[in-house]
Structure 1
């Protein structure tokens, strides 16, 4: 958690922590068996008073070791990146990709319905779909089926009927998908499902 802008960044970050803690306590925010919260403060001393707000018991965790809060100063983060960049050539470019606004997003690519007289019933495996999307720089993560079920990183197994795939959740750059929107897939690229992705509708 961090508030990069504002006159009093630490106070704003503390307020976010308070809202986060209340959401956990009320059950509004779902969580797993363990949770590690990392909060950035200009002055770590100013953030210490919020540590007591994250009570593992009140937030629905089995024990105090299941909920952790780490406070880190902005200066420490800057020093880490500076040292890392000095000893690992090229890592700055990687950080720009991971942290910059122009990096990859989690997108939902809808499979358009088949046109008039077109049948999209052939089976397709997740590996085939991954190979079909690879030239676009798209990494599929999950499939949304026609019954609303979501298969997260499906394991190798029987192929699914292409008509059952409603959408694909993937890591991608929106501009890369748009640039390939009019490209005709080559023979064998994901069969009918690849044809359905020629003009994807994208939602972040």
Structure 2
């Protein structure tokens, strides 16, 4: 298989449908929506290729590869989120954080995380970024899982808390739906 199979969900009809596949095959990727488009950032982990930025435009039902200056090099297990028109990107086992502005087509570095985060996640809530993930502490093998919060206005990270359980692998998801913006309610299943 040399393509990334994409499906989309229609909550009004409670159905899934195929979308045309991405232009470049990637196995090590992350995705987020920004400005009404889907952005996929990744590489082929088997070949250790540099990152590729791909964009799906639902208006034309098509993908394009975006050539962007200063795109980060290969990143292991990248994660990204969109906040107020910008895309933030982190990767496993690094403190580096990047920000992409789709309208200007420019990447820039953001303040480094305090700690390495392995097998964690990245979510946006109330305009802030929350990075989770663990790391080994010293030679004694203690493992800790922290949550760091990024204040975009101050361009700074702080350790917010430590998770109560030690998770070797974790994933995150954040969904906020504002039903006041919809003209029709979702259908109710009466079965």
Fold shared, TM-score > 0.5 on shorter chain: no
Q: TM-score range by the shorter chain?
A: under 0.3
Judging by fraction of residues, say which structure has more strand. Answer: 2
TM-score by length of 1: 0.26
Higher Rg of the two aligned structures: 1
Larger helix percent: 1
TM-score by length of structure 2 reads 0.27
